[in-house]
Structure 1
Amino acid sequence: MQSLQESSPQFFSRDEQLVLEQPSDDWDLVLGDGPVVATAIHDGHAMRDSLLPYLAFSEEERRRDEDPLTGMLAVVGDVRLTVRTSRFEVDLNRPRAKAISTNPADTWGLQVWKGPLPDAELERSLAIHDRFYAMVGSLMDEMIERWGCVLLLDIHSYNHRRDGADAEPAEPHRNPDIDLGVTTLDPRRWGRVADRFAEVLRGHEVGGRRPDVRENVRYEGGGHFPEWLYSTYGERVCAISLEYKKIYMDEWTAQADIAVVEQFRAGLQDAVDAVRGEFLACR
């Protein structure tokens, strides 16, 4: 476990509470006073114009594999971080070396780019990755100093109808309504929190039934973002990745059921409230 990074004054200052000194066009960051951070780093769809000629697939295909509306779930955080930039411009949940890939094996068989990108375009995208991790490092340092520990909710969604609009959905056994990634938190310190968090999510009805909530079903390991948090901050950050099955929308038409989104949000808020005391007690 590495020691805390030194705070980066170019990102934040503190008066009575934390103040963002350097906003970014690539994400929105709302700062409240509390130990819960909610992120939606794949919510965005924006892509800079200079990259569009190199894209090998359509805007609709790109949107299908982004995580639309996850930013609406991130409102449960005291601190809310929603990325505007598409994961296909730069994937902030992957290490820098793989944040932009021209290999379909890295993108579920999708051919994202027509060929290798110019070096100048690669560097512009990778600069976003660098700024993001520098900013989050500064934010975590500030919040740990203030609260002692942090609950970070890494919110995503996933497709379950990849075979087509008229095909059968993926079988439920391997596709829970909410898959909780808890491989990158310290189980001795936060195992009870993760269990309570899941229990509350299961108890909150969505679409007239209790949701199927399980742990570590779809992904054996966490993404780079929670792995980086754990390797940097250890038990001081409890990172839970939430993968919501896209039962709140039609993957193929992009039509959303806002009532279901709101039910997911309410359940997530209840789960946060149920474990908040553990993090307030770190002070």
Structure 2
Amino acid sequence: MTTQVLSPDEIIRLIRKGECFDAQTRDGGLKIKIERYVPYVCTAIHAGSKLRESLKTRIALDDYQRWYEEDPHTDAFISSMPITLVGCDSRYEYDLNRRPVAAIYETAWGKDVWKKKLSPREQSQSLRKHHNYYRILRALVARLEERFEACIVFDMHSYNWKRWDREVPLFNIGTVRVDQERFGPYINHWQQELEKIQVPNENSVCAINDVFEGLGYNLEFLSTNFSNTLVLATEVKKVYCDESNGIDYPDVIRNLQRHLKTAILNSARHFIDKETSYNSQAPGVLLHNGIDPSLLKIDRQLHKLLRNFELLAYVNPINIDTERKRFFKKKYNEVPHFRYSPIKIHPFELKQSLSNLKTQEISDVSIRYLYEAVINSYFDKVDLLASLNSKKFLYNSLRYFGRPSHNDLQNAQYLSLLPAIPSEPKRMPYLEMEQVIQRFEEAMDRYEMKGKIELSKRVISQVMVLNSRKTVLIRPDAHFTERELGALIEHELGVHMVTTQNSNLQDLKIFNLGLPVNTRTQEGLAILAELLSGNITLKRLKKLATRVKVVDMMCNGADFNQCFRYLHQDEGMNPNDAFSLCTRIFRGGGFTKDYLYLSGFVKILRMYLNDIDLSPLLVGKTSTDFYDTLVEMIDREIVKPPLYKTHSFTAPKYEPGHGLYDYILSGLQ
């Protein structure tokens, strides 16, 4: 919503009419946002630091002294919420948490505030702002009580902890003026939610009436005028900045933002379900629904910068066949020298443009964090691409994709040592390429997709999906058994093309670009699709295990030839397959991505076996790391539920709970 400049009377009229808006008062003292009428409100009345011009030369305190007693960033802690009231002026001009007769300080915390006492006229100007805040607050809470029978207010403050000579809590709830008999259970619930919040190097303690007792006027005013409104006056220890110099700790601020959002939503729902007529259980009803213009703007800018960035299109060598022939001619003794298409991006300029995106304009902290994570991941991907075919490429690949963990290597070793399954034949006839293409085309028709199927020698794997072109590329010399083709169709079309098509239907294009390291989730879903379609084989699982081991060998210093000899001589892999696998892993200078197939499968399989709905992961190129955010965005109608769904997920041919593969997969850690 666009921020309007309105008078208090205009704001009150909008509230009484039940209209949503984002506004600042004409005197600049208050910001109010109502994205949706819900029975909870968040206030940050000491967040501001402004002084009107006529007072700047009159005040006896410098900027730091004022900042020290204000509550910076408490407005950020509540920015994701649908109804917020934020004080913009310094509490030294007038303190909204004190009664009108005491709202203007002469002295505060042992210091004279004014060089010369303010005139009655000057005081009157400030007190008018104080009065307007409480007029608006009264109108708002009256409207919410009238509509929903009750209301809960999260009144956020912060406090300076270094002035205490004892251990003090991370959070403090002031309850002296709250009806304990009626509201005690909700206070306890809020305390429990706050104690779940972890801040590095801090004990997660939430006390009640310890450092402060909740004697502020914001709470007193609401409790006196509204019998069905609970105010939770909450102090946050200023661990998110350096009290001695005012320097912020951005990571701690963001951490508090994200976790306070969850705590507020959980406690609001607990109160609302028992005290109000509002149905809080319907998806997305406690937050604003729909896409904010600021979010859409950032998304469009990001997509414009990155829409032609397809890492795999550049990382695939253009001379695979000639280097394969030369490698075999040299009896496997000369390392291949791969060449690549020239990259068509300017790395420095692209990173600079990404840095200029104003993600701070995204009000919801969870969605903002998602966008910031994507931008940060593209910094790494740009560095990866810029270092193509150099010694730095492996380092950048490790930075982005990582390397196999101890757990990954244990799983790979476990699969490698499993004996052959007698019921799985060693040899099966291969299908003709015309049959392969026809089967892919038929599968596209079943999925009701529009896409192209092309033969290409430029791909390393037998089949690859180019997302930007909605194209399936197949190597002309590839060969498939019936079962292998069934697995590939569910893998490539049922997951990779499904998620591409779903991402194209989204208003937000970030799911077309891809969330950080979405390879793990995408390939995990794809291998699960192979399993559930009844096409997985032990040979396939062993191949995933082999990739993990070869990536680990490369990370430990082995070169192309050493890995090839291991595959060909020790593992008995035929030369062509061994060359292709080594090419996958050594392309670009060392591409560690392939170990993620097995680790992704293990993670997705665990989710599936625990009956976690996988459909939110199909909305685009997603990541399990953002699963909760995806669910929330779908609930809030910011993201469309997936139209296309993997057939083997909705109608699996393999049902866990019986059979040999249950036993095999139960051994994965």
TM range (shorter): 0.7 to 0.9
Residue 228 of structure 1, CA deviation: 1.1
Q: 1:180 aligns with which of 173, 188, 196?
A: 173
Farther off after superposition, 15-24 or 250-259: 15-24
Q: Can you list the C-alpha shifts for 1:220-257, whole angstroms capped at 9, x where unaligned?
A: 442111011101112x1110011111111001221111
Equivalent residue for 1:232, pick from 225, 232, 238: 225
Q: Decide which structure has greater helix share.
A: 2
Amino acid at match of 2:119: P
Shift of 1:189: 2.1
Q: 2:29 is matched with which residue: 26, 32, 36?
A: 26
Which amino acid is 1:121 matched to?
E
C-alpha displacement of 1:65:
1.2
Report which of the two structures shows the higher radius of gyration computed on alpha carbons.
Answer: 2
**AA partner of residue 203 (structure 1):** K
Unaligned runs of 5+ in 2: 1-8, 278-669
The alignment status of 1:118 with 2:112, answered yes or no, reads no
The residue matched to 1:54 in structure 2 has which SS?
coil
Q: Residues of 1 paired with 2:18 and 2:70: CA distance? A: 33
Deviation at 1:160, TM superposition (A): 2.0
The one-letter code matched in structure 2 to 1:148 is E
Work out the number of aligned pairs and report it.
264
2-structure distance, mates of 1:45, 1:241: 20
Aligned with 1:227: secondary structure?
helix
State the alpha-carbon separation in 1 of the partners of residues 15 and 43 from structure 2: 21
Please name the residue that 2:61 is paired with. 57
Match of 1:203 among 191, 196, 200: 196
Give the superposition deviation at 1:161: 2.6
Q: Is the 2:23–2:31 contact (alpha carbons within 8 Å) kept by the matching residues of 1?
A: no
Instruction: Decide which of 208, 219, 232 is 1:215's aligned counterpart.
Output: 208
Tell me the distance in 1 between the aligned counterparts of 2:216 and 2:45.
Answer: 11
In structure 2, C-alpha distance between the alignment counterparts of 1:101 and 1:112, rounded to whole Å? 7
The alignment's TM-score, normalised by the length of structure 1, stands at 0.86
> Which letter maps to 1:158?
Y
Distance between the aligned counterparts of 1:65 and 1:265, measured in 2?
21
Name whichever structure is richer in strand by fraction: 1
Label 1:280 to 1:79 Cα distance change in 2 as closer, same or farther (>3 A). farther
| Cα distance in 1 between the residues matched to 2:161 and 2:22 | 40
Residue 91 of structure 1 and its aligned partner are, at CA, apart by: 0.5
Distance 2:112 2:75 in 1: 26
Q: Are the structure 2 counterparts of residues 59 and 11 from structure 1 closer, same or farther at C-alpha, using a change threshold of 3 Å? A: same
Which residue number corresponds to residue 166 of structure 1? none
Equivalent residues of 2:22, 2:32 under 8 A apart: no
Aligned partner of residue 179 in structure 1, secondary structure = strand
User: Are 1:272 and 2:276 matched, yes or no?
Assistant: no
- Structure 2: how far apart are the matches of 1:220 and 1:206? 23
Report how far residue 271 of structure 1 moved. Answer: 2.1
Say if 2:62 is the partner of 1:70: no
Residues 18 and 143 (structure 1), Cα distance of their counterparts in 2 relative to 1, 3 Å cut: farther
Picking from 244, 249, 254, the partner of 2:241 is: 249
Distance across 2 between alignment mates of 1:30 and 1:224: 21
Aligned residue for 1:263, secondary structure, equals helix
SS at 1:75's partner residue? Answer: coil
Tell me, in whole angstroms, the C-alpha distance in 2 between the residues paired with 1:57 and 1:16. 42
User: 1:79: which partner in 2?
Assistant: 83
Provide, for residues 55-74 of structure 1, a one-character-per-residue CA deviation record: whole Å limited to 9, x for no partner: 11111211111111110112
TM-score, normalised with respect to structure 2: 0.38
Distance in 2, matches of 1:220 and 1:197, equals 16
SS in 2 for 1:87: coil
**Identity, % of aligned positions:** 26
Aligned to 2:523: none
Q: Which amino acid aligns with 1:145?
A: E
When the two chains are superposed, the root-mean-square deviation of aligned CA atoms in Å is 2.1
Which is bigger in relative contact order (C-alpha 8 A, separation at least 6)? 1
Q: Is the 8 A contact 2:98 2:217 kept in 1?
A: yes
Matched residue type, 2:235: E
The alignment partner of 2:79 has SS state of: helix
AA in 2 matched with 1:78: P
Counterpart amino acid of residue 171 in structure 1? D
Deviation at 1:148, TM superposition (A): 1.3
Whether the aligned pair in 2 keeps the contact of 1:11 and 1:22 (CA below 8 Å) is no
Q: Cα–Cα, structure 1 residues 15 and 240, in superposed 2: closer, same or farther, change >3 Å? A: closer
- 1:44 maps onto 2:37 in alignment: no
Once residues 202 and 57 of structure 2 are traced to their aligned partners in structure 1, the CA distance between those partners, rounded to angstroms, is 45
How far apart in 2 are the matches of 1:217 and 1:278? 24
Find the counterpart in structure 2 of residue 108 from structure 1.
109
Separation in structure 1 between the aligned mates of residue 37 and residue 21 of structure 2, nearest angstrom: 13
User: Is 2:198–2:204's contact at 8 Å kept on the other side of the alignment?
Assistant: yes
Q: Is the 1:56–1:114 Cα contact (8 Å) retained in structure 2? A: yes
2:144 aligns with 143
The answer for the alignment partner of 1:171 in structure 2 is: 165
TM-aligned CA distance change 1:14 to 1:171, over 3 Å: closer
Structure 1 residues 181 and 221: CA distance shift in structure 2, 3 A = closer
**Correspondence for 1:130:** 131
* Maintained 8 Å contact 1:91/1:100: yes
Amino acid at match of 1:27: L
Question: Offset of 1:210 from its aligned partner?
Answer: 4.4
Measured after TM superposition, the shift of residue 78 of structure 1 is 2.6
